[in-house]
A and B are shown apart, each in its own frame.
Chain A
Amino acid sequence: MNHLPRALLSLALLVGAAAARAEEAPPPPAADPTPQGPVEKVEVRGDADEAATLDGTAFATVIRAEDFEGRVTSVPELLRDLVGVQVRGLGGEFATVSIRGSTAEQVVVYLDGVPLNRALGGGVNLADLPLGQVDSIEVYRGVTPVGLPAASIGGAVMIHTRRASGSPAASVTATVGSYGSGEMIASVSGRSQRADYRVGLDGGVSDGDFEFFDNNGTPQNPADDTTAVRHNNDFQRGHLSGQASVRTGERGRLSLAADLLAREQGVPGLDCCKSPYARFSTSRWLLRPTFEMPGLFGGRVLGRLAADYTRYREEFDDPHGDIGLTGFPTDAIHQIETLGGEAGLVIAAPGRQAISFLLSRRRETADLADHALPGPDDIGRATRHTTVVTLEDQVSFASDRFVINPSLRHEAYDSDFDPGPGGGVVTPAEDASYLTGKIGFRLKATVAVTVKGNFGRFTRLPDFIELFGNQGAVVGNPALDPERGRTLDLGFVATRRQPQGALRAARLELTIFETLAEDLIQFIPNSQSTVLAQNFDRARIRGAELTFALGLGTRFSGSLNLTHQNPRDVSGGRNDGLLLPGRPQDEVSASTTLEAGRGRVFYDFTYVGPNFIDRSNTPSTALPARYLHDAGYLLRLRPGLQATFEVKNAADEQTYDYARYPLPGRSFHARMSWEF
């Protein structure tokens, strides 16, 4: 009788606590760590479901540190190969993620449980998430687990940094590669009976001076095309990450996570219209104390309190106005501070239920200035308060064979802009609140086959630029409504695992989905010099995702991810029925790994289908399909010491995620790591 509540409590302990990892609070021995389907360990990147514990019915993928151990890679490269996920970069230290055809703004990215999306606008730059200290990445497609304080239409990406290992350990890694790139990663960790800690430090540099096809700004004139070198595309990055935790009393655990990032980089501009001077620098401070109290009231209640503080400082200096369409020189400085608090509670209720509750309150301020403005440079301060209350009831039937988890999310927010001497006059935005919800199910049809499905409604709040405009061409529209999305998915997971024999492990997941996004916000020209954000667009994305993972014998692992989607404009206007720009219909990624003696050979293939750059789907300007090949060899020199050689984009394809922003061609990398 107690088995189920304990299992649910173990699950719920993780609800709302992205930073709370199973290793910190091991469940009682009798407890099944999760009420999900069987956990398979197929040694390939991006195992679906494994340890994706925040929502047992959601379609999720987890990448663990072991999956990219020894590889020369990055968060954008890892996400790029996942099913249903698209990453778009600018060929430098900027990349954003889209899930199931969403926009980047419709995906919430968390670092150790702290949402990184800002009310100032724009998607999260994945380059702000160095991989060196990352332990795992969870990607929830289409739905956001109820325990997370921010939700959106596309889904959620959760980055977990590494924690202390079982015994004192340290590691050092050095990487060098093409285009003057290099990276150093170091970490040290320790553990005592009551406390543990881990500190990681990493830094990276690159000149980013790859060659690319330059059409001289005349796409129809091949006579003046050349091969040029990307300039002002360098970066330098430093990153410090640390965690410490201590047990308090019999059950409590207090932990603190800190993350500091600083990066300075060039902004090279468009392919033809190069900017030799524009620079961008960013720094981020993140602190997150968490206090967890499992096993209250006889083990029937789990409690958790958390707070977070994030501070960004960003400066974009474009002294000649080379970037953007206005031609204005800019020296914009944004200081963004977010203070958040969360309280979570999980109650093991009668009737094989686990009721979880989350209250989150966040305050975000953005102080905006532009030193290029003549006269006062203080543009003003934008502020947003957000209050979120979520409630979920997870009910299990037939000894966990069937689970449903209906949930509600109530979100209230108010935004305000207080213009400074250099700012303009704006109308305050109205307060608003929204109720959304989600229901999912999971049915273990057989020992090997699990069927899952979800239906949910989510929103994306309008950002500060959309609400209040900027000092240039954007006029604020305080009357904007949030973007709304309805998502539906259904699929099955079939697994087979046997310790002996040629077929060691196999896993097949097939999912179909549909997302209907409404009231999408677009900037519409409303005068000779200004644009205005308006709610008007509507999009429907239908698709299918297939994941197949295979382990043969003791040496071979492989995986194949296929995504087909049909992202259509259904606004009813002149582009009704056409494909959404920037969303390829087909993506394929395949990975293989072969263990050979002290070494390992690996090969990754990525296909991204052609996609249109305009809403009217002009074939002649569509970005062509790309075929990327990465391969490498890892050699274990001695215990704890290994070397890797890797070639990326081996076929030297000239590719683009965005028109006019070239991506690097072939590159070579070597890496040496030592754990001791």
Chain B
Amino acid sequence: MGILIVVLLSLGGLLACGPGLPDIHPLPGAGTARLQPIYDVSVRYPSLEIIVSGLSYRGLDLDVEMAFDESTLQDGDPSFEARARVLSVSAGGVPQAFEAPQAIGVSGSYDDGHIATGFFGPIRVGNAGLLIDLEGTTQDGPRRLTGAATLYGFPDQGTFAAVKRRRYLVAGSDLQAEIGKVAVVTVRYDAEITIENDVEITSSDAIARVEDGRPFIVNRFTYDNVQGLDPLGPLKTTFEYSTENLSNPLDLVIPPPGAVGDPGTAFVTRYGAAFGDVAVLDLKSGTVIDRIDLKPYARNRNGYPRPDQALLHDGLIYVTLQDADATFTEFMNGRVVIIDPVLRQVIQVIDLLGQNPFEALTYAPSTGLIYVGLAGLFPTTSRPATLSGGIETIDPVTRTDRGVLVDDDALGGNVSGVAIHSATRGYCLVSDASFHNFVKVFDPQTGEVRETIFDSASLVSSIELDGDGYLLVADSSFFEPRVLIFNAETGALVAALPARLPPFSFAILTRSLP
């Protein structure tokens, strides 16, 4: 009896084995697709009479999303391909049911600011099958399109207004688990702002980037990989390539591929003590095929260059070096090395006047300068803050340091973010000795420090300009995390979006017609 029970229990237990190894689903790889310009198109036929379900309405409005095939816009040929998706239809101001393919193929032409879509559809509203043709011109650069809208077979002439859709990739983490997640903020018609949370899983120490028209996540220390997201779909992972264990990748840039169909090569800064280089990562194979050693450019006692941010400008890669020792107690003045990505060599070193270039390296077309944010030394429990940083500028033409533009003494704290909106308005992120955080305005040419547009006792992780007039601020409060959107021209708050996880890093997904 007893032995039987033992045997039965053993068999039962063995049968109740776990789920076993997970199924293997290979990722598709880096591919060559790019983010698409997406425009929200409002099509109006104000005088059109339409009967739906026996009721007569005057006026027809359609809300259409149009996503352009990036490759057909860049091929030098005016013709393009796009996908249109009808989001809503209303007749006489009343929402109506409609039928339309999920993605309507559009073949049109775009040249010299003039767009013509040709007829696309059908869009069935009631018994009417609508075919739409849009023809117009760009306004406000390529940010808006306006023009005439024609319905096939109907004499009524309508209008359309298209607005470039803004999209932001937000890497978030509560730093309580091994994982973080990305969210996507969408701005339609410059007014309708929504956030979609939990779009994809990342590490809990993730940096969002868009390079070469593709979204990436750099998963930093102890995750040590570059994660590529599908630029066309719902931003799911298409590849995840290790940059080698304990390499601590912090940033990447991708020069345009040299050949059609080539997914390109990423240059990844590797901060880890045993690395201290820029890795050359083949996005096709996912392997590190070369490295540019930066240890010769470190002067601290341990010889750790601590490469942080990377910027691709005018065909060259600028990399900031924090030049700090193993214990982060000896910081030399910061440096910027310039790398020729073709030669894969450092071709110049620029010495900075401040210490600890930290997560802030940006080029401003409005001034023609590269701005470097230097944090100085953050306070710790055993060391007070040292304001030995600020904002310095580099002239990329002469490749020389132009000195300190804004001293951090004038800012009142450590600088951890810089964004240049225009020749007269820049923003920086400052943390003071009591860990209070500020987003301050400064003049990118004179260095004059102006007003504070936001401050918080909670962590503010990063700031980012969207290139279309908005400033994004990561309010990383653990209790009430928010993505804050400010008007970059005025500093006025546009929106405060509650986020599921505290936001830490932004990348701009918005693409524009040429």
Contact = CB atoms under 8 A, between A and B. Distances in A.
Interface string B8-36: 01100110111101101111000000000
Contact of B245 (A273, A321, A626): A273
A21 to B, nearest CB: 33
A539 interface: no
B273 A614 contact: no
B307 interface: no
A217 interface: yes
B242 A527 contact: no
A223 B205 CA distance: 23
A314 B415 CA distance: 38
B382 interface: yes
Given A217-B225, A625-B18, A524 B478 contact: yes
B380 A424 contact: yes
B223 interface: yes
A218 B179 contact: no
A373 B181 CA distance: 35
B272 interface: yes
Contact of A328 (B178, B246, B328, B358): B328
Interface in B82-119: none
Interface in A457-477: 468-476
A655 B201 CA distance: 21
B177 A217 contact: no
Nearest to B287: A224
Contact of A605 (B9, B227, B274, B457): B9
A615 interface: yes
Contacts, number: 219
B245 A529 contact: no
Given A529-B378, A574-B500, A624 B18 contact: yes
A220 B240 contact: yes
Contacts of B286: 221, 223-224
Interface residues of A, number: 88
Contact of A621 (B201, B329, B479): B201
Contact of A221 (B27, B327, B379, B383): B27
A556 B18 contact: no
Contacts of A274: 245
A413 interface: no
B196 interface: no
A626 B18 contact: yes
A218 B241 contact: yes
Contacts of B225: 217-218, 221
B179 A627 contact: no
A592 B435 contact: no
Given A222-B24, A424-B380, A625-B18, A325 B205 contact: yes
A650 interface: yes
Interface in B5-64: 5-6, 9-10, 13-14, 16-19, 21-22, 24-27
B355 interface: no
Given A556-B1, A613-B177, A424 B242 contact: no
Contacts of B191: none
A522 B177 CA distance: 12
Interface in A370-427: 372-375, 379, 419, 422-426
Given A424-B383, A527-B431, A273 B177 contact: no
A325 B222 contact: yes
Contacts of B178: 613-614, 621, 659-660
Interface string A572-616: 011000000100000000101010100001010101000001111
B179 A621 contact: yes
B237 interface: yes
B246 A273 contact: yes
B479 A536 contact: yes
Interface string B323-345: 00111111000000000000000
A556 B2 contact: yes
B239 interface: yes
B273 A327 contact: yes
Nearest to B304: A327
A471 B381 CA distance: 6
B474 to A, nearest CB: 11
A320 interface: yes
B12 to A, nearest CB: 8
B174 interface: yes
Given A220-B237, A222-B25, A558-B5, A472 B16 contact: no
B176 interface: yes
Interface in B263-288: 271-274, 286
Contacts of A653: 17-18
B227 A220 contact: yes
A472 B1 CA distance: 62
B380 A590 contact: no
A553 interface: yes
A659 B227 CA distance: 19
A525 B242 contact: no
A471 B274 CA distance: 23
A500 interface: no
Given A220-B27, A629-B10, A522 B18 contact: no
B175 interface: yes
A75 interface: no
Interface string B434-464: 0101000000000000000000011101000
Contacts of A220: 27, 201, 227, 237, 240
A-B complex: 7 closest residue pairs judged by Cβ atoms:
A556-B2, A614-B177, A424-B382, A424-B381, A221-B240, A605-B13, A529-B378
Given A220-B240, A424-B382, A631-B10, 13 more contacts: A221-B27, A273-B246, A424-B383, A425-B381, A475-B381, A524-B478, A525-B476, A530-B378, A556-B6, A581-B177, A592-B6, A594-B5, A605-B13
Interface of B: 1-3, 5-6, 9-10, 13-14, 16-19, 21-22, 24-27, 174-179, 181, 198, 201, 205, 219, 221-225, 227, 237, 239-242, 245-246, 248, 271-274, 286, 325-330, 358, 375, 378-383, 414, 416, 431, 435, 437, 457-459, 461, 476, 478-479, 481, 500-502
27 contacts: A217-B225, A218-B240, A220-B240, A221-B241, A222-B26, A327-B248, A374-B325, A375-B329, A379-B382, A422-B382, A468-B381, A475-B381, A526-B457, A527-B379, A527-B431, A528-B375, A530-B381, A573-B479, A581-B176, A590-B9, A592-B5, A594-B2, A603-B9, A614-B176, A618-B181, A624-B19, A651-B17
Interface of A: 213, 216-224, 270, 272-274, 320-322, 325, 327-329, 372-375, 379, 419, 422-426, 468-476, 522, 524-532, 536, 552-553, 555-556, 558, 573-574, 581, 590, 592, 594, 596, 601, 603, 605, 607, 613-616, 618, 620-621, 624-627, 629, 631, 650-651, 653-655, 659-660
